[in-house]
Amino acid sequence: HRYPCCWRCHHELIYRVSREWFIRTSKLKDRLIEEAVKVFFRPESAGKAMLNWLSELKDWCISRKRYFGLPLPFWICRNGHLTVVGSREELVSIAVTGTGQLVELHRPWIDRVVVRCRVCGENAYRVKEVGDCWLDAGIVPFSTLKYLKDREYWAKWFPADFVTEMWEQVRLWFYAMLVMSVVLEGRAPYRRILAHGMVLDEKGREMHKSLGNVIWADEALEKMGADVVRWIYSRQNPSLPLKFGYEKASKVRARLNILHNLLNYVATYSEANNYKPDSKKPLSPEDPLNRWILSKLQGLIVEVTRSLEELRHEKAAALLEEFWVEDLSKWYIKLIRWRLKPAVAYKYKYETLQTLYHVTLQLLRLLSPFLPFLTEYHYQQFFKQYENSESIHFHRWPAPNQKLRSPELEEHMEIARNIVKTCNSLRAKAGLKARWPLPTIYFNSNQRVRQTITLLKQVILEGCNAKKLSIGEPLNKGFLKEEFEHGTLYIPRRLTNEAKIEAAVRELARRIQVERKRKNLKVGEKVKLWISTPNTIEKDIRKFEEYLKAATDADIIKLGTLDDGVEVEALGIKMRFKFEK
């Protein structure tokens, strides 16, 4: 035989038969099942586990042979009659002796109270056992809701809309509450249950002091940040164990940083363009890019709301993250960046700023229960000055506006995104950076996709960073091609000299932007810019003067020879620049 051992003194332990107290729950089985099936369980398997447990239900052993704990309120006389006491008042009313010393209803004081047997009138003494702790926990929907003292108050809160705890509670707390509630009120004490898995370390081991792999909550909140921890939990499928640790936290932080930067961008460019949100001005943009992001937002509101109602928080969180990373940051904002430069005159500028403000504020409202600190920070920093509510947390949950939905436009945009994705994969093969403008690209496709091109030509050109989009195949061989589900895309294998100079100018502009940031210049703050280039291309560079002014917020550009300043070399062209306010 192998024996278990005592965890403290390591003595061998054996099973021993003893007399115990039970609640005959096996007789309640059918009633418990009837009420349990009315409860919404998430994950579904937790509901199945509950039904399995109930269909195999044994009687509930409620006694424990310990000293401390909830004393069972059972008194027995020498004739074996059982007296069950229901309250302190009842105890005092039938006590023979011992009530004077009764400090509280625990041992040792409770054991000194002797009562009169209800059947024979003899003295009765309390049994020595204490109760199973789940008796206490199971009565929570009544004890904490003043069931005995204030029935009206209790009725206001009972049953609970939502209870969440670990998966193991199916057979413990969830079950104990169900028994108490079906016996007392004939129904389950909760409408919806979310059961979740365990937290493990990043390697999937349980956290133990002896393994040295424990991360305490305070430490995690301090080092990772509360919203990072919240987002880790929000993205987690609750039926699986959560592998928690700093590596995961740094990945999550990177994605939250995208959101943080995006919200900073909204504030910076609204202010740089002197945009003042006005809720009285209707939101009905003409530009397809703006109409598209508004349509996506409505879908997001619908899906996030539904996911939360189904207790699928991880789905809601995944949708929100996809929206801010893929739809907003990597697509929409990338495409509006140039249009929102303060020096660029663009006919849809106002509606773009209006759309951007609306979309990001709605996003903050959707995110506020998940990321209360990050959302409130940005709300206080920027949005609050234009809104009536003191805090993002005082806002209502957003409702979708069906008029702003356009599934057809979303389909076209999906095609446009695929074209741009293909273009980028071709660029990688040709060694041409996304920043370098392509003179002409060719696209060969079917009729359906041509509709997309008519509607979204500007978006495709900007997304591909190309000057011209021609339908059909190129005549000469200087092109790379890729076939994909919507057609075949062709881009030039290499840049012409003229295109190289333009690409070099783009690199120069980017380098100037980095330098502006390094010197803490504000967006829109004007500078005087000196540029020196090889003499042979000075004339060509002049062609991009207007571009450079807008890209770098320069009001004067001087071309000439510089000995100092920052050196930039791009596409084999050596340049220098410096600027001053």
Binding footprint of Zn ion on the chain (CB under 5 A)? 6, 8-9, 11, 77, 79, 81, 117, 119-120, 122
Q: Residue 163 Cβ, how far from Zn ion at the closest point, in Å?
A: 36
For residues 117 and 392, which CB has a smaller minimum distance to Zn ion in the complex? 117
For residues 120 and 399, which CB has a smaller minimum distance to Zn ion in the complex? 120
Q: Distances in Å between the alpha carbon of 408 and those of 126, 405, 414?
A: 76, 9, 10
Contacts 24+ apart (CB under 8 A), 311-314: 311/40, 311/42, 311/162, 311/192, 311/194, 312/42, 313/234, 313/238, 313/370, 314/234, 314/235, 314/236, 314/237, 314/238
Q: Residue 21 Cβ, how far from Zn ion at the closest point, in Å?
A: 18
Q: Residue 58 Cβ, how far from Zn ion at the closest point, in Å?
A: 28
Q: Which H helix or E strand runs over 194?
A: strand 190-196
For residues 11 and 16, which CB has a smaller minimum distance to Zn ion in the complex? 11
Task: Name the token pair of 354.
Answer: 């209006």
For residues 11 and 65, which CB has a smaller minimum distance to Zn ion in the complex? 11
Q: Residue 82 Cβ, how far from Zn ion at the closest point, in Å?
A: 9
Rounded-to-integer distance, Cα 247 and Cα 251, Å: 7
Q: Which H helix or E strand runs over 114?
A: strand 114-116
Burial of 69 (0-12, 13-18, 19+ CB in 10 A): middle
For residues 83 and 532, which CB has a smaller minimum distance to Zn ion in the complex? 83
Q: Distances in Å between the alpha carbon of 315 and those of 73, 261, 321, 577?
A: 48, 24, 10, 49
Closest CA to 240 of 339, 166, 131, 305: 166
Residues 6+ apart with CB under 8 A from 527: 516, 521, 552, 553, 554, 555, 579, 580, 581
Q: Residue 80 Cβ, how far from Zn ion at the closest point, in Å?
A: 7
For residues 77 and 504, which CB has a smaller minimum distance to Zn ion in the complex? 77
Q: Residue 87 Cβ, how far from Zn ion at the closest point, in Å?
A: 21
- SS3 for 20? coil
Q: Residue 179 Cβ, how far from Zn ion at the closest point, in Å?
A: 29
Cα dihedral 76, 77, 79, 81, rounded to 10, equals -40
For residues 78 and 191, which CB has a smaller minimum distance to Zn ion in the complex? 78
For residues 9 and 217, which CB has a smaller minimum distance to Zn ion in the complex? 9
Q: Residue 7 Cβ, how far from Zn ion at the closest point, in Å?
A: 8
